Amino acid sequence: MSYLDNYQTLDNRMSGRRKHDQFFMKLVETMNIGVAVTDSERKIIYSNKNVGVITGHSDNNRIGMDLADSFDYLNGEIVKITYQDCLKDTKASVELSWQQPNGKPVNARICITSFDAPSQKNRLFLVAITDITEFKNAQRAIVHSENKYKAVVENSLTGLFIEQDDKIVFANERLSEMFGFEKDQLIGTETHRFLPLRAKGFTEEIQTHRKDGKSIWIKLKSRSITYHGKPAVLCNIIEISREKMMENRLLDLERKLCDLSDSRHADHLNQRKKTAADIHNGVGRALATAKNLLEKAMASRTDDQDLLKDLNKINVILQNASSETRRITRLLHPALLDDLGLKATIVWHCHQYQDLYPSIKISLAVTIEENKLAEPLKTAIYRILQEALNNIAEHLGTTRIKIHLFSGMGKLNLVIKDDGLSLSFLTDELLAPHRFGPGQTDIKEIARKTGGKFATGKNIDNQGQYLCFSWPMDSSHRG
C-alpha cells in the first residue's frame, strides 16, 4: 500500500471521528442538565450552556475557570470536598441549594465521575448538574401536606387505625386513649385482640373491652383502601358507651312503662270481666226471674184482657232488657272466649254477622296455635274484629270480607279486607274513637296497648280497603 493510500485511510478515520465528536457535542448541548468536563484542579475544559443557566452565571467564557467559583463560597467549598471524595471512590454526588444573582432559589444535584483520557496525562472529571428545584418544592409540599394530615388525624376526636393482614399498621392517639394502650403497643397488634370479628365495609355497633378489662361500646365504620401499595382497611371508631347507657336506661324505662300499661290493661280487662259477670249474674238473672214470674201470672189470669195486654207489654220490655243485658255483657267481656276459645268465638261472631247482613259473605281463615296466646291478646283481637266488621258494614257495595288470622316471621297477624267503597273510613273514622260498650276505645289504641302495630290502605286493585294488625310473638305470650 502506498503512502498516499495510508494518508487517505487516516484522513477518513479522522473525518469519522470529527463527525462522531460533532454528534456527541450536539447531543450534550441539547440536554436539559448542565454538563462540564474539568481537570483535577477543577479547571473547566468544556461546559454546555445549561451549566450557566442552572448556576446563574450565563457567561459563556468559563473555559479555564475553577468550577467551584460558579457557586457561593460555602457551596464552592462543598464542591471541592466532593472532588476529593471522587478521587477516592471514582464517583461522588452532593445536593446544593443557593440563590442565583437574580434572587431565584435553586436546588441542584451535582454528580462527579473521574475518568482517564488517552490524550491527557492527568485524570479528567465529568460533572453533571441537575436542577431539582421543582422536585424539592414538590417534596416540601408533600411533607407539609403530610404534617397537616398528621395533625388532623392526631387531633381527631375519633379513633382511627389502618388494618393490613389482620394487624394494625397505623393508629392515632385517640384510639390508644380509647382502649388504654400506648400508641406503639397498638402497632403490629392483631386486630381481633380488642375488636371481635366484623363485616368490613359497614357501620356497626360493637361491645368490646379496654386494656384494663372495662367494657365499652363503640361505633365502627370501615372501608377498603390501598396502603403502601397493598390492600388495607381504614377503620373509624367513635365511643358510644354513654349513649348506650342512656339507651339502655330508656329501654328499661320503656319496659317498666309497658309492664305498668300491661298491668293496668289487665286490671281493666279483669274489671270489665267482673262487671260483665255481675250484670249477667245479677241483673240478667233478676230479669229472667221476673220474666218467668210474669209468664206464670199471664197463664193464671186469662179472663181480664186489659190486664193481659199490660202484662204482654211488660213481658216484651223484660225480654228486650234481657237481650240488651246480654249484648252489654258480651261487649264488656265475651264469655264465649272463656268457654269456647278465640277461634270458635270468631266463627260464632261471623255467623251472627252474616245473619244480620245476608248480602255480605265472609271468608275466614284462622291458622294459629291458640294455646300460645295470652288472654288479653285474645280479647283484643276479638274486639278489633268486632269493631272492624261494624265499620265495614257501613261501606257502600260491600259483598265480601276476607279475614285471615295467622302467625309467621315471628309475628301474629290479623288481616281484614273488604271490596266495598269506604265512607271516609281512612280519615274521619280512624281518627274518631270507636264504641265498645260503656267506654270509647280506638282500635289503634287497643293494638298499641297489647304491643301491636296497625296499618290500613286500599287494596292493590283499588277495590275496597284492608286493615292489618301485627303483634310480636313474644308479646302474644304476655299475660
pLDDT of res. 457: 79
Minimum mean pLDDT range among 5-14, 361-370, 453-462 = 5-14
Give residue 403's pLDDT band: very low, low, confident or very high (50, 70, 90): very high
Which CATH number, 3.40.630.30, 3.30.450.20, 3.40.190.100, 3.40.640.10, labels domain 3-131?
3.30.450.20
Given a cut of 60, is residue 199 above it in pLDDT?
no
pLDDT of res. 47: 84
Q: Give residue-wise pLDDT tens across range 462-471.
A: 677 888 899 8
Q: Give residue-wise pLDDT tens across range 291-328.
A: 777 777 766 656 667 677 777 777 777 777 777 776 67
Do 170 and 200 form a contact (C-beta atoms < 8 A)?
no
Closest CA to 453 of 466, 467, 469, 441: 469
Buried b vs exposed e over 202-231: b needs ≥16 C-beta within 10 Å?
eeeeeebeeeeeeebbbbbebeeeeeeeee
Q: How far apart are the first and last CA of the chain?
A: 129
Say yes or no: do domains 3-131 and 340-477 share a fold: no
Which backbone phi and psi does 99 adopt, to 5 degrees? -115, 130
Query: Is domain 156-239 classified as CATH 3.30.470.20?
Result: no
pLDDT of res. 23: 55
Minimum mean pLDDT range among 123-132, 133-142, 467-476 = 467-476
Average pLDDT of the chain to the nearest whole number:
77
Q: Give residue-wise pLDDT tens across range 77-102.
A: 999 999 988 888 788 999 998 888 78
Would you state the cell numbers that stand for residue 205, as one nine-digit string?
355497633
Q: Give residue-wise pLDDT tens across range 234-276.
A: 888 888 888 888 888 888 887 777 667 666 656 666 666 667 6
Give residue 109's pLDDT band: very low, low, confident or very high (50, 70, 90): very high
Who wins on pLDDT, 21 or 248?
248
How do 465-472 and 434-436 pair as beta strands? Answer: unpaired
Give residue 111's pLDDT band: very low, low, confident or very high (50, 70, 90): very high
Identify the CATH class of 340-477. Answer: alpha beta
pLDDT of res. 414: 92
226: enclosing H helix or E strand: strand 215-227
What are the residue ranges spanned by the domains of the chain?
3-131, 156-239, 340-477
Mean pLDDT of 412-436: 59
